[in-house]
Amino acid sequence: MTTRTIRARDRPVFGVDVHSGDVRGDSPSYALVILDPVDEDDPDAPDADGPMARVTRDVVSFRKLCRLIDDREPLYVATDNAYELAADKGELVGFLRSLPDGTRLVQVTGAERPEPLSRVASRHGIPYGKKPMKEAEAAARLAAANVGHEVTAFTDETRVKVSRGRSTGKGGWSQDRYTRRIHGNVRKRTRQVQSKLKEANLDFERDVTEKYGGYANATFTVAARPEEIPVSNSRAGDVRVEVERERRDGIEYEPLVKRRDRVIVGIDPGTTTAAAVVGLDGTVHALYSSRTGDTAEVTEWIVEQGRPIIVAADVEPMPETVEKFRRSFDAAGWRPTTDLPVDEKLHRTREASYANDHERDALAAALYAYDDHEDQFERIAAKTPPRLDREAVIAGVVAGGSSVEAVVDDLSEDDGDGGGGSGDGDADGTDPTEPERTEEEETIRRLRERVDRLESHAESLEDDLDERDDRIDELEGELEESKREERIEARTRRAVSRLERETDRLERERDEAQERVEDLERKVETLKELWRLDHSNFGDVAEGRGLVSVKVVEQFTLDALDAADDAYGLVAGDVVFLRDASGAGRRTAERLAEAEPRAVIRGEGNLSDVADAVLFERGVPVVAADAVPVREVDELAVASEEDLAAAVDDWEERAEQRRRDEKAERIDRIISEHRAGRTLPETEETD
């Protein structure tokens, strides 16, 4: 007896169908049928409506239905359409999350493309009626018989998170001790959870975030459902524990009972027992190996995979353990004439994936058994009528040791078609004691055979249609995956373009910054030449560098002279640069001469005659900017000492010549005036 059967007898099954209203409306009501298991050996048990089941019928609201599910924790909540309990996929996921541990939502009519409930009920011999209560009862009885698909939005992995149950706060006198205590309690609870998972022999992965004094949180990813985990949601003091199943990408449908096809099983016994299951078409279905598994566990695993018709070993003679498996399944045995060499095993299993050498040996035995029976399978399939199950005929011939004709006759009688015969008549299946058929009866017989062939062909076409639908679903899945990858690629391209634009902007800013740096470096180099200058009065020259400081006056006016004096002072011995020397009068020239500059460098414009005369009289050298180039850095200016000295010397020479000329001119004028004064009296006496 499987675990699922035991649980089904211990817990109720709910059947649900919409009674009135609409799930997308405000208040739908549901027809609810509860199948409670009863022990037929208990004399105090109430009368059961059906085999080992007490039936309760009611009409409930959705809220009451949820309360009953929480209170009773049924094994299955069965319905003919899962979306009768939720308006959309989001609500359906929420409903699935709210179910108690161990309770499953079952859609009894199939997976994504459900059949009519009436057809499913008829196929399994379940009473059916069109009223909601009858449909709910049919759904419950079908689910109790393990008919249908589980609707799930979660994987078989569960996330257990241990975290802080309260905030560490914003500070205080005992903040460090308080935080250390919380993190220490989280670490303690984490170790307790880990110990429980190990005691339950559950596989898990742990991810821990360490903080001051212990753990801030710890997450366990456990390969089990919540009901199989010895930890539940809790919150006590400083620590909180949350148990939640991992979400799938969407809604999936898993059959309650897998189809058990006929299979070939290879077994490799020993300290590590391994088994391999291969289909009658040579397809590898599953592999198994365990060091701790006993015979019962291996048998249960094989039963879940299919119904063995051949049990194979890779050595001669067949080991006793393999022989016990063969007898327990009433299957045919296969063994090689001699032990299979390792290189042949490796070659035969080269296209399969296996975890260890034991699984490889079991798989090799199953595949060699298939190779040995492949031609026989094809001959049996060729002789099998289309309306019969080919695998059932192969099982009867191989495992039962009967002829194809005998198995076909037995299966035909089981189907109740009356056309198989007993096998004691002629080769065409007719009984010689029967009266000869009339022409009408022969026509009917031929038409019936044609109908059988057409029905078989229709079934074949339906199978082809199912395969095509499966292929369409597969291609749609691939298309959706391609679209998803294309969306990801498009987002990547947009991100790359955005980053490229950002890179271009940063490169432009870098180039501009480099240009500013170069400009500043040039200024720094010039300032290095000027750093020795006294910035208070610009009077001293950098020692040994051949430079002289220059004070700039923008225009030769009183206001400009006052502004320069206020800015950096005009004192004796300064070199003054008149950027614009034109327009000055006597007063302005006298104001500049009072400063007693060492020299005046004339820029644009010419000095007025009055200003030139005042400066000349005061002995202020005036030189042209062409003779003494001025170098300016912001508010500072310098000139070459050598150029300045040469220009002043040149001015001195010209000034000396000018003074001599003026002196000569003055003497000539005096002489002329003297002569004129002496001649004048003689003239008067003559008169």
Q: What is the reported pLDDT for 537?
A: 42
Give residue 218's pLDDT: 92
Which carries the bigger pLDDT value, residue 365 or residue 26? 365
Q: What is the mean pLDDT of residues 254-276?
A: 85
Average pLDDT over residues 428-442: 51
Question: What pLDDT shows up at residue 453?
Answer: 65
Tokens encoding 620: 């202020």
Q: Which of 62, 48, 41, 64 lies closest to 12 in space, CA to CA?
A: 48
Report which of 315, 367, 362, 312 is spatially closest to residue 341, judged by C-alpha positions: 315
Q: Which two tokens stand for residue 166?
A: 């309260």
> In percent, how much of the chain has pLDDT > 90?
24
Question: What is the chain's alpha carbon radius of gyration, rounded to the nearest angstrom?
Answer: 55
| Distance separating alpha carbons of residues 137 and 147, to the nearest angstrom | 13
Average the pLDDT over 202-219 and give the result: 88
pTM for the predicted model, two decimal places: 0.40
Over residues 42-67, the pLDDT tens digits come to 555 544 444 446 899 999 999 999 99
pLDDT of 687 reads 46
Q: Give the C-alpha distances (Å, rounded to integers) separating 438 from 229, 419, 434, 624.
A: 73, 18, 12, 146
Cα 185 to Cα 190: distance, rounded to the nearest angstrom: 8
**Which pLDDT value is given to residue 433?**
35
Place of tokens 């924790």: 73
Q: Tell me, what amino acid is at 221? A: T
Express each pLDDT in 563-573 by its tens digit.
Answer: 888 877 888 88
pLDDT for residue 422 is more than 50: no
Q: Is the pLDDT of residue 547 over 90?
A: no
Q: Measuring CA to CA, how many Å separate 557 from each of 458, 578, 589?
A: 117, 10, 9
Distance CA 571, CA 601 (A): 16
Q: What is the DSSP letter of 227?
A: G
Q: 112-121, 235-244, 531-540: which has the minimum mean pLDDT?
A: 531-540
Alpha carbon of 507 to those of 492, 497, 500, 502, 516: distances in Å?
22, 15, 10, 9, 14
- pLDDT band, residue 190 (cuts 50/70/90): very high
Assess whether pLDDT exceeds 80 at residue 538. Answer: no
pLDDT digits (tens, 9 = 90+) for 586-624: 888 888 888 888 898 988 888 888 888 888 888 889 888
Name which of 219, 157, 166 is nearest 194 in CA terms: 219
- The reported pLDDT for the residue numbered 529 is 61
Which pLDDT band holds residue 501 (cuts at 50, 70, 90)? very high
| 398: helix, strand or coil | helix
Residue 419 has pLDDT above 70, yes or no: no
Beta-sheet strand order (sheet of 262-268): 284-290, 273-279, 262-268, 307-312, 332-334
End-to-end CA distance of the chain: 176
8 Å CB contact between 109 and 120: yes
The answer, yes or no, to whether residue 671 has pLDDT greater than 80, is yes
pLDDT at position 302, please?
87
Question: Does pLDDT of 575 surpass 80?
Answer: yes
Whose tokens are 């196929």? That residue is: 123
pLDDT beyond 50 at 198:
yes
455 has pLDDT over 60: yes
* Torsion sign over Cα 366, 368, 371, 374: negative
